[in-house]
Structure 1
Amino acid sequence: MTDWSDPRLPSAQTSSPRQLKRMSRSFAGVGVGIPPERLRQIAMGGSATDDELVDVSFALTATQLLSEKRRSKRGRAQRHAVRGFILVVAILIAINVLLCLGLMLFVLTQHTTPY
């Protein structure tokens, strides 16, 4: 798991307006409504109330947790798909072997004399 003790906003110099909009939307997805402009001000070190800092910290932690949940769910789905693919391939190989054995027995019976 990830270290949850100190979630931080990306610095204002490394964050583009598009990234801040995306972050604001993801924050809204966990119940924290902070506009992108306000996130930029907070990231630049502007004054922020304790409530805003708690909201940002919660939103960062919650979005990171949701991201890890999605990632683990995707991993389980991929493992499930690989197992299914292996099963289908094994069944096709088994059917192929049975058909080859049947054909071989048919060919061998054609070469024997009827008497």
Structure 2
Amino acid sequence: MMTPSTPWGHERGHLPRRLQIRNQVVGRRQARRLSRRFARVGVTTPPDRLQMMLAGSPAAHAEMADFNFGLIATRLKREQFSARVQRMKRRGTRSLLFLGLVLVTLNFLFCMAWALFSLTLEAAPL
């Protein structure tokens, strides 16, 4: 009888099937990229070891914990970055709207000044 796999890895220390990229072997470039992302959040795993883990070789419990932490931390970092980008977009839209309203107001004031100036020129006796 086999034990069911958990979402964080099998009991024998293998990565879950959903993390294996469509039954393909992860390339060196993808493994290096993943290793750099993990290094940004504090997990130092060499790209060769990540490549072997994603290919299905057994991993120690500490490696599995580091891998899972790296995945969660990179996802959290990506979500924080996208939230910051959305805030900047909203702030930029608000600033552009404010700038547009200021320009409309200044245009209205210049038009009023021009109208009053032209009326005073016509009313003045020569």
Coarse TM-score class (shorter-chain normalised): 0.7 to 0.9
> Equivalent residue for 1:103?
114
Determine the C-alpha separation between the residues in 2 that align with 1:102 and 1:6. Answer: 71
Shift, 1:84, TM fit? 0.8
- Aligned to 1:87, which of 98, 118, 126? 98
- Aligned-partner Cα distance in 1 for 2:82–2:50: 26
By relative contact order (CA 8 Å, sep 6+), the higher-ranking structure is 1
Distance in structure 2 (CA, Å) of the matches to 1:104 and 1:71:
49
Task: Please list the CA deviations of residues 43-88 of structure 1 after superposition, one character each: whole Å capped at 9, or x if unmatched.
Answer: 1110111111111011000010011001101110111111111111
Q: CA deviation at 1:15?
A: 3.4
Q: Normalised by the size of structure 2, how large is the TM-score?
A: 0.79
Q: Which segments of 5 or more consecutive residues in structure 1 lack a partner in the other structure?
A: none
Matches of 1:19 and 1:41 in 2, distance apart? Answer: 12
1:27 alignment partner in structure 2: 38
What is the CA-CA distance between 1:6 and the residue it aligns to? 4.0
Alpha carbons of structure 1 residues 34 and 87: separation in structure 2 relative to 1, 3 Å: same
TM-score by length of 1: 0.86
Instruction: Provide the aligned length of Structure 1 versus Structure 2.
Output: 111
